[in-house]
Amino acid sequence: MKRSRVPLYTTIAVLVFFYLPVLVLVINSFNASRFSAGWEGFTLDWYRKLWGAREIWHALRNTLIVATVATTVSTVLGTTAAFALHRYSDRLQQLHYLLIYTPLVIPEILMGMSLLLFFVAIGFELGLTTIILSHITFSMSYVTMTVLGRLQDFDWSLIEAAQDLGADWWTTVRRILLPLLAPGIAAGALLAFTLSIDDFVITFFVSGPGSTTLPVRIYSMIKHGQPPLINALSTLLLVVTFVTVWLSQRLMGDKR
Amino acid sequence: MPDGRRTRGAEWSVTLPSFLWLIVLFVVPSVIVFAIAFKPATPYGGIGAGWTLDTIRSLGNPNYPAIVWRTIWLSVVTTVACLLLSVPMGYTMARAPKRWQNTLLLLVIIPFWTSFLVRIFAWKMLLHPEGALKRSLVALGVAGPDTQLLYNSWAVLLVLVYTELPFAILPIYAAAEKFDFRLIEAARDLGASPFQAFRSVFVPGIRRGIVTAMLVTFIPALGAYVVPDIVGGPSSEMLGNKIAQRTFVDRNLPEASALSALLALAVLLPTFGVLALNRGRNLLAPKSESSP
Amino acid sequence: MAEFLEFENVHKHYGKVRAVDGVSLSIRRGEFFSLLGPSGCGKTTLLRILAGFERPDQGRVFLDGQDITDLPPHKRKVNTIFQNYALFPHLTVRQNIGFGLKIAGVDRSTIEREVDAMLALIQMEDQAGKYPDQVSGGQKQRVAIARALIKKPDVLLLDEPLAALDLKLRQKMLIELDLIHDEVGITFVYVTHDQGEAMSLSDRIAVMNRGKVEQLGTPTEIYEAPRSSFVAAFIGDTNFFEGTVAEMVGPDYSRLAIDGFPDVVVFNDKQLKTGDLIYLSVRPEKIRISRDRPEQGAHSNVVPAHVEDVVYLGSHTKYWVRVQDYRIAVFQQHNRFLLDEQPIRWGEDVFIRWHADDGFMLERYSESDERLMGTPPEEVGESDNGAERAPTGTDGA
């Protein structure tokens, strides 16, 4: 039976489309040319400059602080929410689900704007704390959806079997539910971490002076020149991402 | 599970943390957006006391309709383009041998894990008037030396599609993976051409994924800010830009708030449309059916 | 005097559906007791109420004199073998088996000893370190049994444990279950929809339908003396007849008037009176078929019939013969070498006979129960479980 090649060609074209700018970026990070117009020789200058750029290190530090705290809290909140949604299905949970689902579908700028207005209205000073609070708010839903998906695939008869054999609720959670759910929770946490590290719009709206994160710093670098530094930074970020993904795949033991 | 009054308390204790958090940090701020649209601005960038309709009236600004229209238009085109690309892609990915599927999925997701800003910046470089791409196009005779690849609506459209496409591919692929491809073979067996089978069997078969893909493409596009800010120009301003401008440049929070309220309404409409369609047809399928 | 395990008027409903509708049962200590019925009859719900995973809306459950209705599952001395085994995937076979003892706080060396004993019982000593996804279906089954038995429960519950196994394995496990029950001696409550399993394993069976117990008895009682058309049709096959009591014949027998039949005599254990409407069940293997008119005794029923269908199955033949409105199934075992004889063929006029003691009168009859039997349709286009009778009969209660 003759199969059309169109879908396959589309796929290849899209993949090329995806990686083209990334490739150009990486290549140009070694390009001695200031404006990446033409190739002017290989250099590691930009990386050296990057190393000495204190603002960038400061921003990176902020980013990591925010991501760590936000991930921890949103993982806990998101996991409990997933439990609630999975175990119960009454009116309360329907409302709960709506609350969880909606942040996923509204544009970031709306969320950033509303949080900014909220903090201004209650007189809360903008800074790392407001960023952390905002990150928790939007990443919680992602954790919930991830864990909820795993819960739905979870074999509930295992819980009943544990109880049948004499384990009370807490023992069952501790010995059966959590160990088996751990990969799912970890996946949710990883997602929250990634989202937090990369978030720009919401962070931009709720950050104050001195609480710059890396994306915000990158944005101002883009707006105010210094393209080669950005190239070098981007390449480094790419490498870090790849390594992290590779590590997590290894840790998860390749289960699907 | 043993029922009774005990579990009611248990349910509340599991639900309350996330529920309360979202009420305070999501619902309340959303309401405030609509509230502040009725407040005056102070010259120092704060929110004044009292209430006024002036801010709402400022929505009548003659520049706005063009911006709103452009925002909607760009979002629609972006969504359509993403669908046109992601559906064949999801088809290919779901039909690939199992070993390849994971690889393909990773290939799609990895760019998504790189910094969002970095990817947009990469396009800014690529489309630069003195960049390699422009010069090759000129050399090929496809473009003139004055053609602007950057700082216009086309650039915005291109980069919007670029950033949204992975979000469209994932739900389409998820739906395609569950699709029974023997239905296509049956259609071919009954005489349908590849395209006919694709259009009348595959596409309806993955309609849940298509609806999700539309939602996760259209709505973020409506609220796009960074993309038009970096690769767009004054002629391609979108609602997001205006809101940011009012907030950071003009320091007029109430007007920014009013615009945000407008955007929120624009977002709510398709969402409710989908929810209304969803009744009984289970398009969003939040969770599996619970057994009695 | 209460038995070891008592269900007292248990009710459970989900919304409008009455899953368990007023069930009262007494199960004896050490018994192999089965709950048998089609899917949706309530047997699994009843089992789960016993295990503690469901609470009845009404009624109580007593175990060894103690009211366990409100006890959570982990406090009951009841253990369950789940249909999908529910082995913990992140624990080894050894850890799975020892789980119940570990939770109970038993010391390490005792656990080792007991687990080793169990491993020997199920003959899986060399697989102790494997994980559930590394062992076969039958082995998973055995691990599940060991895991449950190690806690020495008062009652062992089995929820369709053989459903996931292929035929050969199922037959093997049937024997093993029987042996384990004999050896361990605890009460087994077994849930199944397969009558073969229930009949071969059980001391007593409760046949359930739509949340109620239709009949409780030994396998023989259930088979030979079904109380209702449901039990008669669900277990094995049978023929149903409708008629009235014409007269009494002695203290123990009645003569029935059935449309199209000469007088039929049946053993009357139900104190029926003349004129009562009755339904009669006669199983196909109790009916003899022959070309020549057999001798008519005082208690034998002889009826002329016309052969409509013949299905030869080697060890026996199934005939469907017509008498007026009735299409009657007859099973004839071939005890003698068949090639010397002239087997009865399609279209012949024959005589069927059965003994009055072999018919049984039903307390309840419902025409829809006839669909439970797998009989060939009379014509192409009929549903494959069509009622045996032509539509002119009156319908039952």
The pLDDT mean for chain A works out to: 85
With 0-12 / 13-18 / 19 or more C-beta atoms within 10 angstroms meaning exposed / middle / buried, residue B147 is exposed
Is B6 inside a domain boundary?
no
Question: What is the per-residue pLDDT for A39?
Answer: 67
CA distance B3 to chain C (A): 7
Nearest CA in chain C to B3: C55
Is B4 inside a domain boundary?
no
pLDDT above 90: percentage of residues in chain B:
19
Backbone phi, psi, residue A125, to 5°:
-70, 140
Residues C243-271 have pLDDT tens digits of 888 888 877 888 888 887 887 777 877 77
Best residue in B115, B164, B170, B284 for a mutation probing chain A (most A CBs within 10 Å)? B115
Please tell me the distance from the alpha carbon of residue C249 to that of residue C195, in angstroms, as a whole number: 36
Question: What is the per-residue pLDDT for A252?
Answer: 60
CA distance C140 to chain B (A): 25
C101 pLDDT above the threshold of 70? yes
Which of the pair, B145 or B157, is modelled with greater confidence?
B157
Question: What is the per-residue pLDDT for C263?
Answer: 77
Please tell me the distance from the alpha carbon of residue C32 to that of residue C180, in angstroms, as a whole number: 11
CA C166 centroid distance within chain:
20
C42 pLDDT above the threshold of 80? yes
Chain A residues with CB-CB distance to B104 below 8 A: 11
Where residue A28 falls (left for φ over 0; alpha for ψ -120 to 50; beta otherwise) is alpha
Q: How many domains does chain B have?
A: 1
Chain C residues with CB-CB distance to A155 below 8 A: 84, 86
Residues A89-138 have pLDDT tens digits of 888 899 999 999 889 888 999 999 999 999 988 989 898 999 999 999 99
Which residues of A sit within 8 Å Cβ distance of C? 155, 157-158, 160-168, 171, 175-176, 179-180
**Partner residue opposite C84 with nearest CB, options A157, A162, A171:** A157
Please tell me the distance from the alpha carbon of residue A157 to that of residue A131, in angstroms, as a whole number: 41
- Written as six digits, the tokens of B204 are 């309806």
C283 pLDDT above the threshold of 70? yes
Question: What is the per-residue pLDDT for B81?
Answer: 94
Q: What is the mean predicted confidence (pLDDT) over C156-161?
A: 92
Q: Beta strand pairing status for C264-267 and C17-27?
A: unpaired
Question: Which 3 state secondary structure label does DSSP give C227?
Answer: coil
Question: What is the per-residue pLDDT for C28?
Answer: 92
Question: Which 3 state secondary structure label does DSSP give C22?
Answer: strand
Length of chain B: 292
- What CATH number does the domain containing B180 carry? 1.10.3720.10
For B132, B175, B210, C234, the CA distances from B284, given in Å and listed in that order, are: 44, 12, 10, 43
CA distance C111 to chain A (A): 14
Dihedral, CA of residue B229, residue B231, residue B237 and residue B238, to nearest 10: -70
Residues C169-187 have pLDDT tens digits of 888 888 888 888 888 889 9
**Contact (Cβ atoms closer than 8 angstroms) between residue C123 and residue C180:** no
B160 pLDDT above the threshold of 60? yes
Please tell me the distance from the alpha carbon of residue C39 to that of residue C234, in angstroms, as a whole number: 12
Question: Which 3 state secondary structure label does DSSP give B161?
Answer: helix
B10 pLDDT above the threshold of 90? no
Which of the pair, C72 or B138, is modelled with greater confidence?
C72
Q: What is the mean predicted confidence (pLDDT) over B86-98?
A: 87
**Partner residue opposite C15 with nearest CB, options B1, B2, B292:** B292
- Written as six digits, the tokens of C76 are 């009951």
Please tell me the distance from the alpha carbon of residue B11 to that of residue A81, in angstroms, as a whole number: 10
- Written as six digits, the tokens of C379 are 């014509």
- Neighbouring chains of B at 3+ CB pairs under 8 Å are A, C
Rounded to the nearest 10 degrees, the angle between the axes of helix C108-121 and helix C93-103 is 130
- Written as six digits, the tokens of A84 are 């609630």
Using alpha carbons, select from C321, B28, C79, C271 the residue that is nearest to residue A99. B28
Using the beta-carbon criterion (under 8 Å), do C72 and A161 form an inter-chain contact?
no
**Contact (Cβ atoms closer than 8 angstroms) between residue B239 and residue B262:** yes
Using the beta-carbon criterion (under 8 Å), do B32 and A118 form an inter-chain contact?
yes
Q: Mind listing the domains of chain C with CATH numbers?
A: 5-224 (3.40.50.300), 229-372 (2.40.50.100)
Is B229 inside a domain boundary?
yes
Question: Which 3 state secondary structure label does DSSP give C287?
Answer: coil
**Partner residue opposite C80 with nearest CB, options A158, A164, A168:** A164
Using alpha carbons, select from B50, B17, B247 the residue that is nearest to residue A126. B247
Question: What is the per-residue pLDDT for A34?
Answer: 63
Using alpha carbons, select from A218, A228, A239 the residue that is nearest to residue A62. A218
Question: What is the per-residue pLDDT for B281?
Answer: 57
Question: What is the per-residue pLDDT for A35?
Answer: 60
Using alpha carbons, select from B242, B248, B246 the residue that is nearest to residue B228. B242
**pLDDT tier, A254 (very low <50, low <70, confident <90, very high otherwise):** very low
C43 pLDDT above the threshold of 60? yes
Residue B82's domain spans which residues? 37-278
**pLDDT tier, A47 (very low <50, low <70, confident <90, very high otherwise):** confident
DSSP H or E run through B253: helix B253-278
Is B290 inside a domain boundary?
no
**pLDDT tier, A38 (very low <50, low <70, confident <90, very high otherwise):** low
Most confident of A195-199, B193-197, C87-91, C160-164: C87-91
Backbone phi, psi, residue C290, to 5°:
-155, 160
Using alpha carbons, select from B278, B180, B221, B214 the residue that is nearest to residue B84. B214
Domain residue ranges in chain A: 60-213
Neighbours of A37 (CB within 10 A): 17
Using the beta-carbon criterion (under 8 Å), do C55 and B2 form an inter-chain contact?
yes
Backbone phi, psi, residue B13, to 5°:
-70, -30
**Contact (Cβ atoms closer than 8 angstroms) between residue B121 and residue B150:** no
Which of the pair, C180 or A161, is modelled with greater confidence?
A161
Please tell me the distance from the alpha carbon of residue B213 to that of residue B223, in angstroms, as a whole number: 16
- Written as six digits, the tokens of A255 are 């289960």
A255 pLDDT above the threshold of 70? no
Please tell me the distance from the alpha carbon of residue C385 to that of residue C370, in angstroms, as a whole number: 8
Please tell me the distance from the alpha carbon of residue A203 to that of residue A139, in angstroms, as a whole number: 13
Please tell me the distance from the alpha carbon of residue C238 to that of residue C361, in angstroms, as a whole number: 12
Which residues of B sit within 8 Å Cβ distance of C? 1-4, 292
Is B166 inside a domain boundary?
yes
The pLDDT mean for chain C works out to: 86
Using the beta-carbon criterion (under 8 Å), do C72 and A166 form an inter-chain contact?
no
CA C39 centroid distance within chain:
12
Residue C371 DSSP code? G
Show which of residues 136-195 on chain A sit within 8 Å of chain B, judged by CB atoms: 136-137, 140, 144, 148, 152, 194
Dihedral, CA of residue C334, residue C319, residue C280 and residue C362, to nearest 10: 70
Nearest CA in chain A to C151: A165
Question: Which 3 state secondary structure label does DSSP give C350?
Answer: strand
Question: Which fold does the domain A60-213 belong to in CATH?
Answer: MetI-like fold (1.10.3720)
**Contact (Cβ atoms closer than 8 angstroms) between residue A234 and residue A249:** no
Q: What is the mean predicted confidence (pLDDT) over B79-84?
A: 94
**Contact (Cβ atoms closer than 8 angstroms) between residue C257 and residue C246:** yes
Chain C residues with CB-CB distance to A90 below 8 A: none
Residues B229-272 have pLDDT tens digits of 988 888 888 999 999 998 888 888 888 888 898 898 888 887 77
B37 pLDDT above the threshold of 60? yes
State the DSSP string of C173-189: HHHHHHHHHHHH--EEE
DSSP H or E run through B221: helix B207-222
A130-143 b/e (C-beta count within 10 Å ≥ 16 → b) = bbbbbbbbbbbbbb
Using the beta-carbon criterion (under 8 Å), do B108 and A133 form an inter-chain contact?
no
C92 pLDDT above the threshold of 80? yes
Using alpha carbons, select from A200, A183, A186, A188 the residue that is nearest to residue A66. A200
Best residue in A150, A163, A164 for a mutation probing chain C (most C CBs within 10 Å)? A164
Chain B residues with CB-CB distance to A96 below 8 A: 15, 18-19
Most confident of B51-55, B114-118, B156-160, B200-204: B156-160
**Partner residue opposite C14 with nearest CB, options B2, B4, B292:** B292
Rounded to the nearest 10 degrees, the angle between the axes of helix A108-121 and helix B253-278 is 130
Question: What is the per-residue pLDDT for A237?
Answer: 79
Tokens 């009235």 map to which residue?
C244
Question: What is the per-residue pLDDT for C375?
Answer: 65
Answer whether C55 touches B (CB < 8 Å).
yes
CA distance A166 to chain C (A): 4
Residues C285-321 have pLDDT tens digits of 999 998 888 887 878 889 899 999 999 988 889 999 9
Q: What is the mean predicted confidence (pLDDT) over C141-166?
A: 90
Please tell me the distance from the alpha carbon of residue A65 to that of residue A211, in angstroms, as a whole number: 11
Please tell me the distance from the alpha carbon of residue A99 to that of residue A138, in angstroms, as a whole number: 11
B274-287 b/e (C-beta count within 10 Å ≥ 16 → b) = beeeeeeeebeeee
Q: What is the mean predicted confidence (pLDDT) over C155-169?
A: 87
Q: What is the mean predicted confidence (pLDDT) over A239-251?
A: 76
Largest separation between any pair of C-alpha atoms in chain C: 77
**Partner residue opposite A96 with nearest CB, options B19, B185, B263:** B19
Answer whether B111 touches A (CB < 8 Å).
yes
Q: What is the mean predicted confidence (pLDDT) over C117-142?
A: 90
Question: What is the per-residue pLDDT for C374?
Answer: 67
Which residues of C sit within 8 Å Cβ distance of A? 51-53, 72-74, 78-80, 82, 84, 86-90, 99-100, 103-104, 147-148, 151
Q: What is the mean predicted confidence (pLDDT) over C81-99?
A: 93
- Written as six digits, the tokens of B81 are 């383009």
Nearest CA in chain B to A7: B88
Q: Is the ipTM of this complex over 0.85?
A: no
**pLDDT tier, B146 (very low <50, low <70, confident <90, very high otherwise):** low
Using the beta-carbon criterion (under 8 Å), do B292 and C72 form an inter-chain contact?
no
Question: What is the per-residue pLDDT for C386?
Answer: 39
With 0-12 / 13-18 / 19 or more C-beta atoms within 10 angstroms meaning exposed / middle / buried, residue B292 is exposed
Lowest mean pLDDT among A144-148, A228-232, B193-197, B211-215: A228-232
